[in-house]
């Protein structure tokens, strides 16, 4: 069984996608980012192997656990910032 270690970011800058369509879903282009911005108020955590904190553009936040299905944010929200929760 193999695994891949993320390369350290020597500058300390997070990897960010400002217009992610797939977020942290396994195999997506944005899976290994630190932060993804989703232009929707509905987040589907199906297939996401990480716990994520979601913060909408109105300031409401919630913790979404891995593979926990559909999450809705405030009805007037248009963007959700997803931040991967690192396990220590």
- List, for residues 55-86, the tens digit of each pLDDT value: 999 999 999 999 999 999 999 999 999 999 87
In a domain, 66, yes or no: yes
pLDDT interval class at 9 (50, 70, 90): low
In a domain, 11, yes or no: no
Whether the CA torsion 12, 86, 35, 54 is positive or negative: it is negative
| 3-state SS assignment for residue 29 | coil
Distance, CA of 58 to CA of 27 (rounded, Å):
30
Which structural domain, as residue segments, surrounds residue 78?
16-84
Provide the number of structural domains found in the chain: 1
pTM over 0.95, yes/no = no
In a domain, 76, yes or no: yes
β pairing state of 35-38 and 80-84 = antiparallel
Between residues 88 and 22, which one has the greater pLDDT? 22
């Amino acid at each position: 069984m193999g695994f891949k270690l993320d390369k350290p970011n020597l500058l300390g800058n997070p990897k960010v996608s400002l217009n992610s369509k797939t977020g942290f879903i396994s195999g997506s282009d944005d899976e290994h980012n630190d932060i993804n911005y989703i232009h929707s108020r509905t987040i589907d955590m199906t297939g996401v192997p990480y716990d994520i904190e979601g913060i909408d553009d109105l300031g409401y936040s919630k913790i979404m656990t891995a593979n926990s299905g559909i999450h809705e944010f405030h009805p007037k929200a248009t963007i959700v910032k997803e931040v991967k929760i690192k396990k220590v």
